[in-house]
Structure 1
Amino acid sequence: MSQADFVVVANRLPVDRTPDGEGWRRSPGGLVTALEPVMRRAEGAWVGWAGQPDVSLEPFDFDGTHLVPVELSAADVQHYYEGFSNDTIWPLYHDVIAEPTYKRAWWEAYVRVNRRFAEAAAAAASEKATVWVQDYQLQLVPKLLRELRPDLTIGYFHHIPFPAYGLYSQLPWRKQVLEGLLGADVIGFQRVADAGNFARAVRRQLRYETKASGISVPDGQGGTRVALAKAFPISIDADSYIELAQRPDIQQRAKEIREGLGNPRKILLGVDRLDYTKGIRHRLKAWGELLEDGRATVEDATLVQVASPSRERVDAYVQLRDEIEMTVGRINGDYDSTTHTAIRYLHQSYPREEMVALFLAADVMLVTALRDGMNLVAKEYVASRIDNRGVLVLSEFAGAADEMGSALLINPHDIDGLKDTIVRALEMPAAEQGRRMRALRTRVRDHDVEDWSREFLDALSAFHDRASSATAAAEVDANLDEPEDASS
């Protein structure tokens, strides 16, 4: 297949190398799961990096999808990905929890690599195709792509938060990024507040008119077009978690987990990438103080903290790991007994089956993010609780809080409030657990990942149809205005 009517552009391809290095397997990420049914129906193409620097690959087909690899050098990975994407944009867009670094060489690499992605997408897309660009690593691609292929319908989805203007305005290349995003016909965000922050930045920096969710953007030909910027909260494949939770072997594994922890009365669970945005330090501080205060004991409750490895070459992450492991060691040293532990810390990644077993074993799920675009772990926990039991403690600064009001919402910076909420969760009666969990499960099942992709693509299709109608009308008007042929 040379060109496709539907093209996804993402930092990574939806496949990973097999352990033997000879073949490919589908990546486990949520985005891949979200777009798999769409790609199958559309027989689409996916443009992305294969995950290894300085490796040149020809396009190839995998499981019904045409994959178009974009080559990145080791310097590109260092400057575009680890540098600008993850040491400039990530901390800035997450409320400067860590200090962003601004380096011109990183920005130049970001521009260069975004252009490479745009060129690859332009080559992969058929005439009047739909292209869907994904996330903060590729914010310049929509405009670059529109310049290369004005016939395309372009969507962009921003998976992380978009910051308030007072923070965003720090970015030295703030106008270029906004203009890059406005190359899309539809710009999607996780939360209404994120879309609002984006619109305010556009008004302040570019002076473009915004009305409701529409933004008037110069079309380069003396006129304007309208770009739509609004919230499309992402979700999960809820049915797949429900099916796993119903499997006897996974239910048995959940019992083994409890037994392995000494059968405490309650298990608390945190599941995060090892990232400073996730509030892991706040969670550990609250739990350590509850043990110190005597409001909890290791015989009664254990905290299991899964912290999967993340960006291990970035200094802020190395420092974070050291801090967390030192804190865990101190708390365990102070409060462990010979049969029970205060915190079971697991710096590993686990397959989905093991995660569902952990969800079934956990009486309380702690999501204490300081800032999070959505936090799909909260939804995965809820979907897995087929017994309608368990308590979700959820940060109000995670996008999931907008949809999951039946959780116990917390401000993770308020350590005393967090401690009180953890105690409330540990002591919550079964009837209240059931009432809250049923409401949460209804929301997650009614709005799953297919709904998310369908809602976004329907909005993009509506824009495409409107633009096509406007083009057709303009062509009719032009034909009516043409002088009659004198020979007729």
Structure 2
Amino acid sequence: MTSARKTFDLVVVANRLPVDKQLDEDGNVDWQRSPGGLVTAMESVMRANPGAWVGWSGDAGEAPAPFYEDGMHLRPVGLNAEEIRDFYEGFSNDTLWPIYHDVIVPASFHREWWAAYERVNRRFAEAVAVEAAPGARVWVQDYQLQLVPALVRELRPDVRIGWFNHIPWPPVELFAQLPWRARILEGLLGADFLGFQRQSDARNFVRACRQLLGLKTKGDRVALADGSGRRIRAAAIPISIDYMGLEALAKRPDVMERAKEIRESLGDPKVLMLGVDRLDYTKGIRHRLKAYEELLHERHIGPPDVTLVQVATPSRERVEAYRYLREEVEQTVGRINGELGQIGAPAVHYLHHSYPREEMAALFQAADVMLVTPLRDGMNLVAKEYVTCRHDLGGALVLSEFTGAWHELHQAFTCNPHDIEGLKQTMLRAISTPTRDKQRIMRALRRRVADHDVQRWARRYLAALDAAPDLPAPDPRGPSAAAPVAPPESAPLAPNATGPADGEPVTASTSVSE
């Protein structure tokens, strides 16, 4: 007699698995931890709440069999080459991403991309239905999987479903451009609780449901009109990082020694400025380089006393807008170094590849000024990582007001990256502010991140999911098997609370990450 297949009380669903497949010299498969921000944030969550992770393995073709890696049960979902092109590169990153980021570049609309998006979302939902235990909690991640909540509810009405959006949710005037806007909203309304980075994002979602679907809303609740009586809550619970783990890494003697080596290899400048981003048009790299170039031309700063290291992690290189951005950034760096650099002392050190966490922690400690200047970002965990690594209270954070991180780290040197002159002045202020004042600022920033780390984020999210209105239908196969949640550090948002306004302290909180 065969034993019953093991299922899980917590199922995390994300576009990618938390590991990447590597082949050794003999062709044997090895799985290594992915460097992405979502993985960085969720890894410690999965340690505290053992469960299953459903996601794409990163390769075209049939999905590998489910397996365990470092204590996590991983269930791969397969995508063929056409689906990678249409679902991932197409609809997710050339349709949704521009719309959700204020149409910094124009969005593309293709019906075959939408068909692939529907098909892949259903495949993910079917995998979830297999892995989830009776009464399980299913936690769906991000914009690639917005149809999954409703599809899972069709297949498994016994489970409790949450969704978290790691990127901004656009104003209804932008979201309304999507030809499939109603289907996306209906997909998300299959969840019990929807989490966003900022309260303005949650309000934008509720407003879209009211204006585009004609649904009744009250505060942070959306009431369905299908006769079920279900209400869905949408609220802000901003994500964070593993503060204790990263701080411990940054305090390792080899990491601190590496930080000194980095400065020495760069000629030991008086001021080392640093940018660390995915090579994405939302990150404001071109605006940052323009401001820096003007400061050099105006002789406010210059090598060898001041230098800039720009780490640009490769991203979505088969999408045309990203190929164009890379060409433009590399041409700009070449021009700056050609006109304003010195022999042995380039004005910009440009690095177009990713680095392990140890190297990033060393880079953060080496940098006197950290430039986090996105035009639009759901959170931007790099800002929190930099603050965490500065256990010496050194350094200065220049932070765009258009990041989710700014709502928590508003003591930083704030900038509007669209205002090049203002950005220049902020950069100079970050350099020239007295050390004692910068230490006071860094102490406050570190306290905020330490108090609102990723474990607190997960506890508060899961508590909000469990407390969301309208419990799912009882499981016909028996009582709920969901594991209890550890109590949050402070009480979850009250059932009728709408959350803080933008700019106010939030009540809760991906590294090169986002």
Instruction: Report the TM-score, using the length of structure 1 for normalisation.
Output: 0.93
Distance 1:280 1:400, change over 3 A: same
Distance 2:266 2:106 in 1: 38
Query: After superposition, where does 1:96-111 map in structure 2 within 5 Å?
Result: 96-111=103-118
Q: Provide the residue aligned with 1:263 in structure 2.
A: 268
Query: After superposition, where does 1:391-470 map in structure 2 within 5 Å?
Result: 391-463=396-468, 467=471
Q: Provide the residue aligned with 2:39 in structure 1.
A: 32
| Secondary structure at 1:155 match in 2 | strand
Distance 1:38 1:340, change over 3 A: closer
Q: Provide the residue aligned with 2:501 in structure 1.
A: none
| Secondary structure at 1:71 match in 2 | strand
Post-superposition Cα deviations, 1:203-228, rounded to whole Å, max 9, x if no partner, equal: 1011112212111124x4x2311111
| Identity between Structure 1 and Structure 2 (%) | 60
| Secondary structure at 1:224 match in 2 | coil
Q: Which amino acid aligns with 2:52?
A: A
Distance 1:404 1:300, change over 3 A: same
Structure 2 gaps of 5+ residues are 476-514
Q: Which amino acid aligns with 1:272?
A: D
Q: Which amino acid aligns with 2:426?
A: T
Measured after TM superposition, the shift of residue 157 of structure 1 is: 0.4
Q: Which amino acid aligns with 2:202?
A: A
Q: Provide the residue aligned with 1:234 in structure 2.
A: 239
Q: Provide the residue aligned with 1:69 in structure 2.
A: 76
| Secondary structure at 1:312 match in 2 | coil
Post-superposition Cα deviations, 1:264-293, rounded to whole Å, max 9, x if no partner, equal: 110100000000000000000000000111
Relative to its length, the structure with more helix (as a share) is 1
Q: Is the 8 A contact 1:261 1:341 kept in 2?
A: no
Post-superposition Cα deviations, 1:293-336, rounded to whole Å, max 9, x if no partner, equal: 11111122101100011111111111100000000000101111
Q: Which moved more, 1:124-133 or 1:444-453?
A: 124-133
Q: Which has the higher contact order (CA 8 A, sep 6+)?
A: 2
Measured after TM superposition, the shift of residue 194 of structure 1 is: 0.7
| Secondary structure at 1:467 match in 2 | coil
| Secondary structure at 1:234 match in 2 | coil
Q: Provide the residue aligned with 2:29 in structure 1.
A: 22
Measured after TM superposition, the shift of residue 42 of structure 1 is: 4.1
8, 11, 14: which one pairs with 1:10? Answer: 14
Q: Which amino acid aligns with 2:409?
A: M
Q: Which amino acid aligns with 2:302?
A: T
Is 1:141 the counterpart of 2:145 in the alignment?
no
Is 1:348 the counterpart of 2:347 in the alignment?
no
152, 165, 177: which one pairs with 2:172? Answer: 165
Q: Which moved more, 1:172-181 or 1:204-213?
A: 204-213
Measured after TM superposition, the shift of residue 257 of structure 1 is: 1.1
Q: Is the 8 A contact 1:83 1:106 kept in 2?
A: yes
Q: Which amino acid aligns with 1:104?
A: R
50, 53, 57: which one pairs with 2:57? Answer: 50
Is 1:205 the counterpart of 2:212 in the alignment?
yes
Measured after TM superposition, the shift of residue 13 of structure 1 is: 1.2
188, 197, 200: which one pairs with 1:190? Answer: 197
Q: Provide the residue aligned with 2:135 in structure 1.
A: 128
Measured after TM superposition, the shift of residue 261 of structure 1 is: 1.2
Distance 2:108 2:199 in 1: 28
Measured after TM superposition, the shift of residue 35 of structure 1 is: 2.9
Q: Is the 8 A contact 2:10 2:136 kept in 1?
A: yes
Measured after TM superposition, the shift of residue 87 of structure 1 is: 0.4
Q: Provide the residue aligned with 2:283 in structure 1.
A: 278
Measured after TM superposition, the shift of residue 30 of structure 1 is: 3.2
- Greater C-alpha Rg: 1
Distance 1:322 1:49 in 2: 29
Q: Which amino acid aligns with 2:122?
A: R
Q: Is the 8 A contact 2:44 2:242 kept in 1?
A: no
Q: Which amino acid aligns with 1:349?
A: S
Distance 1:295 1:24, change over 3 A: same
Post-superposition Cα deviations, 1:195-247, rounded to whole Å, max 9, x if no partner, equal: 111111111011112212111124x4x23111110101000011122112212
Distance 2:176 2:367 in 1: 42
Distance 1:366 1:36 in 2: 26
Distance 1:367 1:104 in 2: 36
Q: Which amino acid aligns with 1:402?
A: H
Distance 2:246 2:90 in 1: 35
Distance 1:22 1:223 in 2: 48
Measured after TM superposition, the shift of residue 40 of structure 1 is: 3.8
Post-superposition Cα deviations, 1:107-156, rounded to whole Å, max 9, x if no partner, equal: 01000110111111112112111101011000000011111111110000
Q: Which amino acid aligns with 2:358?
A: E
Measured after TM superposition, the shift of residue 38 of structure 1 is: 3.9
Distance 1:58 1:206 in 2: 40
Measured after TM superposition, the shift of residue 410 of structure 1 is: 0.7
Post-superposition Cα deviations, 1:168-213, rounded to whole Å, max 9, x if no partner, equal: 1100101110111111001000111111111111110111122121
Q: Is the 8 A contact 1:382 1:440 kept in 2?
A: yes
Distance 1:42 1:446, change over 3 A: closer
Distance 1:422 1:374 in 2: 21
Query: After superposition, where does 1:104-119 map in structure 2 within 5 Å?
Result: 104-119=111-126
Q: Provide the residue aligned with 1:360 in structure 2.
A: 365
Structure 1 gaps of 5+ residues are 473-488
Query: After superposition, where does 1:208-357 map in structure 2 within 5 Å?
Result: 208-218=215-225, 220=226, 222-357=227-362
Q: Provide the residue aligned with 1:382 in structure 2.
A: 387
Measured after TM superposition, the shift of residue 46 of structure 1 is: 1.2
Post-superposition Cα deviations, 1:36-55, rounded to whole Å, max 9, x if no partner, equal: 34434443111111110113
